[in-house]
Structure 1
Amino acid sequence: MAWKSKTRNLQVVDTELSADAVEWCPVAPSHGILACGTYQLQKGAGEEDAPPIRTGRLYLFEFRRGGSLSPPLTELQRIDTAAVLDLKWCHVPLSGGAVLGMAAATGELQLYTLSDSQEGGHRLEPLCSVEVAAERLALSLDWSTGRMDRSDVRLVCSDSAGCVSVLSLAEGALTPLSQWKAHDFEAWISAFSYWDTQLVYSGGDDCKLKGWDLRAGPSCPTFTSKRHSMGVCSIHSNPHREHILATGSYDEQVLLWDGRNMRHPLSESPVGGGVWRLKWHPTDQHLLLAACMHNDFHILHCQQALEGGGGACPVLASYILHNSLAYGADWSRLSLEEPAPCSPVAAEPKESLAESGGHLRIQYESPTASFDTSLEDDAGRYIPEGIAAPPFTPTAGPAPMPNEDAHSPTYVLASCSFYDHMLHVWRWDWTPDQAQLESQPC
C-alpha cells in the first residue's frame, strides 16, 4: 500500500520583490497570521562604483477558512523597509500581544507588535529597534522562548562580518548584552538551545558549526564542528526533545545532533539542495521541514534517528511547485480537519493584480507553467499534466508504514522562493503509522 501523503496548493501570492522569509504567528489566537519578508538588491544611483541599495518589504497576511472559491489568504498590511534577511515571532505573548522580530540589511534588529486596527483587523506597529551591526547586514535572529518560557526573553543575532550578538528585551526595549567575533566570514545563522538558553549555536561561511556558553563568556567556543563541508546556514533546536539540534548547510546535508556529543551527528540526510532553513514542527517532535534552495521543500521524518537507529531520515513529502530558490518555509499551528479537496477538472483563471487587490491567485497552478489537473506521484508531489512523473527517491531509511485506521492530520504550511518572488500557502495531509502515533507525548 502506498504511503498516504498529499500536498495541495491553496494559494500563490506575488510578493513583487524577492521573497526570502515566511513566519506563521505562534501566539494564540493569532495562528492564522503570516508574515513575509522580501529582499531586493538594486544598483546604486549615480557613480558607477556606488554601493548597491538593499530594499525590502514586510507583508502581513491572515489565513481565513472560507468557501472553496475564496482565496484563504488576505493581505492586511505592507511596510516598505530595508531588505529583510530573517523574521521570527516571539513564541510567547509580550505585554499581552505577539511580537515579530526582523533582521535588516541596515544591521538593525527591528521589533513589531501585532495589534488590532480600527477597522477590526490586525496591524504591525513598530515597538523598538537597535543597531547591532554598523555597516553590516543582520543575517539571522532567534528568540530564547522556544519552550514557551517568558521569564527571560532574549534574542540572538548574527551578521555579515561573522559576529554574534545577544540582546535582552524588557519593558519594550532591546538592550545589547554581548557581541563577539564568531566566524571568519558571514555568520549565516545563530540560534538558542531552547532547553538551556545560556547555550547559543552559530554557523558560518567558514564551514564551521560552533557552540557558545554565555555563562563562561564568548572568548572560546564550547565546541567547533567541521562536519559540514560548506557554509552552515541553518540551525534549529528541537523544542520537544532535549539536546536535539538540526543543522543544514550549502553542502546539501541535514545533520541531527545530540548536544552532549558534538563529535558525530546522530543522522546525516542528503536532500539535494543547500539547506537554507530548517523548522521542527510545533507539536510533532519527529517532523522537520527543510527549505532546500535548488531542490524545493521537503518534510523529513526523524523518529528513527532520534531513537538511536541511525541512517538518513526518510522524506515523507515534497512540495515542488516553486520555480526558484527555496528560501523561506514554516509550519502553521492551524489544523484543517476536513479532507483535502479533489483535484479540479480545470485550473481557475488567473486574476489580474488589480482585481485581486495586489495578489496573484493561482489555485492548483504553477506560477510559470499552467496545467489543467493536479496529479501526484506516490510521494504526494505535483506532476503537471503531460509531463512524466520523475522518479521519487526518498532519503535512505525505512519510512513508517501507514495504518488505514489512523487519524490523518492536515497541516497548513507556507513557503517562498526568491527570484520569482512567490509566496505559496499549501496543505499537507498524511497518515502516520500507529507506532508513530503511540510514541507521541500526551
Structure 2
Amino acid sequence: MACRSRTRSLQLLDTELSADAVEWCPVPPWHDVLACGTYQLLKPPEGVDVESAVPSRIGRLYLFQFHEDGLHCPPLTEIQRIDTSAILDIKWCHVPVLERPLLGMATASGELQLWKLTDTQDGPSGLEMTSCMELGPDRLALSLDWSTGRGDSSDVRVVSSDSTGGISVLALGEGSLAKLSQWKAHDFEAWISAFSYWDTQLLYSGGDDCKLKGWDLRIGPSCPTFTSQGHSMGVCSIHSNPHREHVLATGIYDEQMLLWDGRNMKRPLAETLLGGGVWRLKWHPTQEHLLLAACMHNDFHILHCQQALEGSGEPCSVLASYILHNSLAYGADWSRLPLTGAPACDSQETVEAERATLEMGVHLRIQYESPTASFDTSLEDDMGRYIPEGTQPSPVCAVEATPPVPAGHAPTLSCLMATCSFYDHMLHVWRWDWSLEESGEATSAEGQGGVDGGHGGAAEGGD
C-alpha cells in the first residue's frame, strides 16, 4: 500500500518584520484565528560603534482570520496588528480562560504577556492585553508553554525560559499572572521549556549548554530529575505528545529530532536527521503519530513516527515537505479547522482555475534577497506571474512499512498549516492532503519533497 501526499500554497503574506512564531487558536469556535509574531534587531545609527551599542529589538503581533472561500479569494484577512517589543514565542492557552481564548507572548524585553481575544457580532475583533509579568532584568524571554495541552483547565500554569538560562513557572488566576518559582537551569540561553501534558508537575528544558533537563515541581528546582548530555549542540525545541503518555519530541541545532520515552531518558527511542537545526516541533492536534518540524536552514517537514514509537529504533519517515520558504524556518503550526474543499487534483478544471487565479494577480509577487545581499531570487514565470507551489510534480513519499492511518481509519487526511520564516519575513498558509492508495507502487504527487543539508544557527539571526 502506498501513500499519496501533496502540499499546496493557499496564501503568502509579507510580515515586514522578521517572522519567527505562528499559532492557530486551539479553542473552539475560534479555530479560524491565526496569530503571528515577529522579531527585528535594529542596526545601530550610523557612526555608533557596533560593539558598544545597546541592541534595539522591535516586534509586531498580527492577528488573522481564515475563510475557505475558494480560489479567487485570499483566505486570510488581517484583523489587527500590534507593535510590541520583539517577540520570541507565542502560544494560545489550549482551554478558554473566563470564556475567552488567551494568547501568551514571550518578548525580548523579558516580559511574559497575556492577550485576550475579544469578539463582536461579526466575529473576532482583536486582542487586548490582560496581564504582563517581567521575568527579570537584562534578559530575553525565549519560550513559553501552557500546562493545558490535554484540555485540562483545573490548574492553568505557564512555564517560560530566558536568555540567562532561567526557568520561570507562573500561575494564572482571574486572567493575571503570579510567579510560583524561578531558578537557574542552564549555563547559557535556555532556548526552550515545556510541560509534560500528562503530569503537569513535570517540566523539561533545553539550552545552549547542549543539555536537556527534567524538573519535578513537587520536589523543587534544586536538582533536575535527569540531565541528558548526549547532544553535540544546543537543545532548542521540546513538545510533549498530548495523545500518547510519556512520549516527548526534542529538536537540536545539530539537525536531529529525537523521540523519548519519559520513563527512560538515558537514550532516545529514535533519532531522525532532518538536515537543519530543529527549531520547533508540533504534534498533530488529533493524530498521535504525526509531527511537524521547522528545520531552520532546511524547510518544514511532516514526520510519521508510529514505527519509532513502537520500538523499531528506526528514524521517522518524512511524509511531506514544504520548501517554498527561502529563509530560516522558525514558526509552524497545525490548524484544527476542518477543510471542506476536496483535495486538488490534476483535472483540466483545476488547471484552468489556477491559471485564472494567476491572471487575477491574487498571489503576491515574492522577491527574495539573501541576508548578505549576495543573491536574490524571484519566483515568477517569464510573464511576471507568481508560480504557486505544487505545479511541478515531485516524487511522493513511499512508506515501506505500515503507512499511517488517520484517526477513525479514514482513507484521507487534509490539514491546514501555517509556517513563517525569518529573513524574508514571510507567512505562508498551505494545506497538506494525504491519502492511502490500494497499490503496491508509490505514485507521483504534486507536493514538494526532498531534504537538503543545512546547519543550525542562533535564534536572533544576526544579534
TM (norm. structure 2) is 0.84
Distance in 2, matches of 1:432 and 1:282, equals 20
CA 1:339–1:250: 2 relative to 1, 3 Å: same
**1:97 equivalenced with 2:103 (yes/no):** no
One-letter amino acid matched to 1:414: A
Distance in 1, matches of 2:172 and 2:216, equals 19
5 Å-filtered alignment, 1:213-362, equals: 213-341=216-344, 342-343=350-351, 344-345=354-355, 348=358, 361=364
Deviation at 1:122, TM superposition (A): 2.5
TM (norm. structure 1) is 0.88
- Alignment-derived partner of residue 39 in structure 1: 39
- Alignment-derived partner of residue 393 in structure 2: 376
Distance in 1, matches of 2:273 and 2:36, equals 28
- Alignment-derived partner of residue 9 in structure 1: 9
Matched-pair contact (CA < 8 Å) for 2:2–2:403: no
Q: Tell me, what secondary structure is at the counterpart of 2:378? A: coil
Deviation at 1:120, TM superposition (A): 4.5
- Alignment-derived partner of residue 23 in structure 2: 23
One-letter amino acid matched to 1:159: D
Matched-pair contact (CA < 8 Å) for 2:212–2:229: yes
Distance in 1, matches of 2:365 and 2:331, equals 19
One-letter amino acid matched to 1:174: L
Deviation at 1:431, TM superposition (A): 1.4
Distance in 1, matches of 2:380 and 2:357, equals 8
The partner residue of 2:425 within 407, 421, 426 is: 421
CA 1:378–1:92: 2 relative to 1, 3 Å: same
Q: Tell me, what secondary structure is at the counterpart of 2:99? A: coil
Deviation at 1:338, TM superposition (A): 2.6
- Alignment-derived partner of residue 205 in structure 1: 208
One-letter amino acid matched to 2:308: A
Residue range with higher mean Cα deviation, 82-91 or 407-416: 407-416
Percent identity for Structure 1 against Structure 2: 65
Distance in 2, matches of 1:123 and 1:41, equals 26
Deviation at 1:368, TM superposition (A): 3.5
What are the superposed Cα offsets for residues 236-269 of structure 1, whole Å, 9 maximum, x if unpaired? 0000000000000001000000000000101100
Deviation at 1:407, TM superposition (A): 2.3
Deviation at 1:47, TM superposition (A): 4.1
What are the superposed Cα offsets for residues 339-362 of structure 1, whole Å, 9 maximum, x if unpaired? 2233534761585xxxx9xxx746
Q: How many equivalent residue pairs? A: 411
Distance in 1, matches of 2:103 and 2:303, equals 27
Across the aligned residues of Structure 1 and Structure 2, the Cα RMSD in angstroms comes to: 2.4
One-letter amino acid matched to 1:413: M
Matched-pair contact (CA < 8 Å) for 1:3–1:378: no
**1:59 equivalenced with 2:69 (yes/no):** no
- Alignment-derived partner of residue 452 in structure 2: none
One-letter amino acid matched to 1:179: Q
Residue range with higher mean Cα deviation, 424-433 or 91-100: 424-433
CA 1:107–1:226: 2 relative to 1, 3 Å: same
Distance in 2, matches of 1:283 and 1:141, equals 22
The partner residue of 1:412 within 409, 416, 430 is: 416
The partner residue of 2:136 within 122, 133, 139 is: 133
What are the superposed Cα offsets for residues 276-297 of structure 1, whole Å, 9 maximum, x if unpaired? 0000001000000000000000
The partner residue of 1:124 within 116, 124, 127 is: 127
Matched-pair contact (CA < 8 Å) for 2:235–2:250: yes
Distance in 1, matches of 2:380 and 2:10, equals 15
5+ residue gaps in structure 2?
A: 345-349, 369-375, 382-386, 439-463
Deviation at 1:67, TM superposition (A): 2.8
One-letter amino acid matched to 1:376: P
CA 1:432–1:197: 2 relative to 1, 3 Å: farther
What are the superposed Cα offsets for residues 411-437 of structure 1, whole Å, 9 maximum, x if unpaired? 000000000000000000001589xxx
- Alignment-derived partner of residue 146 in structure 2: 143
Matched-pair contact (CA < 8 Å) for 2:72–2:357: no
Deviation at 1:408, TM superposition (A): 1.1
Q: Tell me, what secondary structure is at the counterpart of 1:304? A: helix
- Alignment-derived partner of residue 177 in structure 1: 180
Q: Tell me, what secondary structure is at the counterpart of 1:376? A: coil
5 Å-filtered alignment, 1:101-116, equals: 101-116=104-119
Deviation at 1:188, TM superposition (A): 0.2
